[in-house]
Amino acid sequence: MIKPHGSEQLNPLYVQDDAARAALAAEAEGLPSLLLNSAAAANAVMLGAGYFNPLTGYMNLADSLSVAEKLATVDGLFWPVPIVNLTAESGIAAGSRIALRDPNVEGNPVLAVMDVEAVETVSDEQIDFMAEKIFRTLDPEHPGVATFKSLGRTLLSGPIQVLNFSYFEGEFPETFRTAFQIRAEIAERGWEKVVAFQTRNPMHRAHEELCRMAMDDLGADGILIHMLLGKLKPGDIPADVRDAAIRKMVDVYFPENTVMITGYGFDMLYAGPREAVLHAVFRQNCGCTHLIVGRDHAGVGDYYGGFDAQTIFDEEVPEGALELEIYRADHTAYSKKLDKVVMMRDAPDHSKEDFVLLSGTKVREMLGNGIAPPPEFSRPEVAKILMDYYQAL
């Protein structure tokens, strides 16, 4: 199986021994507490689950600035996005041991224990520098920029030990999986070549066929459909609805033992190219050999060019930095001429009118009115789940 990023073995920060975890939980109740923001909590979940291997905790300011500027830590580890614990709280001292409390679960239980190595103040200029590098914009209307700039100016860095996976296991027991669980299942299935498909949306016919195209082109053993389960911007479809829609599509339209439906506990960054590279890093940690990177991957609005998330792998990712490879996808749509879904680049004799193309706004309007999109665009079983959701709003 493909190696994890940056190490020979995966090193999740979740305390897996039951007795050790119980002892740590008991100790945490007597420690000073910090209530995390959702972004820092999501980072803790990803660190605990092994997705952010080989990191041992939150980055300090020097590493955060270096990663933002050069996609590498000060020591040279390739990494695309700062993994930080930014807070507005003060009064925490370097050298202290603190309990990190979960903002997303009632009662704010302890999520992790942190050994605080450094407490640093981040200037507005440094925040802006990082935000512009990560998101390629400082527009406050960009949801990722707005979130990042609101997190606070005190940066806590140091190793963490993770006690649980927040609300993800309880709310998505069939879907949430850690990187180490996914690696184990891939090994159990005997898959060698595995293609990851990232999604924060339900999958339409074009997405479904794109997975098949990638599997066929690469001779892959299986597809990992890996959905984001954390916080989204207003208007995005909730994870439970998306989960139900994707499961129905796979149950009806894919052969057995070709698809793993899983999810991960992270809040969407909407960082376009940088987030695509982060997706590649943590899919390698899952044991995947390839990641589908399509048009406007992890984008929002008009902040990124259609294929910026592909070209960053050519222009900014050093050769050999990742073992995982990307599968480059074009815009995919149903061809009326050919009576099948194709990548538009493979149909140069087509005009726009030869494809079934619907905007997201148009699709939401149809679903809200109880009108199923055409079957060339969306499977009827999937459309039914989405119609029920939109009509209940």
CA atoms within 13 A on the CB side of 380: 1
The catalytic position among 201, 212, 247, 328 is 201
Separation CA 197–CA 199 (nearest Å): 7
Residue 12: strand, helix, or coil: coil
Conformation bin of residue 25: beta by default, left when phi > 0, alpha when psi is -120 to 50: alpha
Tokens of 167: 């609300």
Conformation bin of residue 368: beta by default, left when phi > 0, alpha when psi is -120 to 50: alpha
For residue 112, give the H/E element and its range: strand 110-115
The Cα-based distances of 194 to 32, 87, 255, 294, 354 in angstroms read 43, 38, 15, 17, 33
Task: Note whether 245 and 203 are within 8 A (CB).
Answer: yes
Say which DSSP state 86 is in: E
The catalytic position among 21, 153, 189, 200 is 200
Task: Note whether 205 and 378 are within 8 A (CB).
Answer: yes
Please give the backbone phi and psi of residue 306, each rounded to the nearest 5 degrees, phi first.
-55, -35
Buried b (16+ CB within 10 A) or exposed e, 112-130: bbbbbeebeebeeebbebb
* Long-range contacts of 345-352, Cβ-Cβ distance < 8 Å, separation of 24 or more: none
201 among known catalytic residues: yes
Please give the backbone phi and psi of residue 250, each rounded to the nearest 5 degrees, phi first.
-70, -40
Tokens of 293: 């990177």
Separation CA 110–CA 102 (nearest Å): 6
Burial (CB count within 10 angstroms: exposed 0-12, middle 13-18, buried 19+), residue 169: middle
Catalytic residues: 200-201
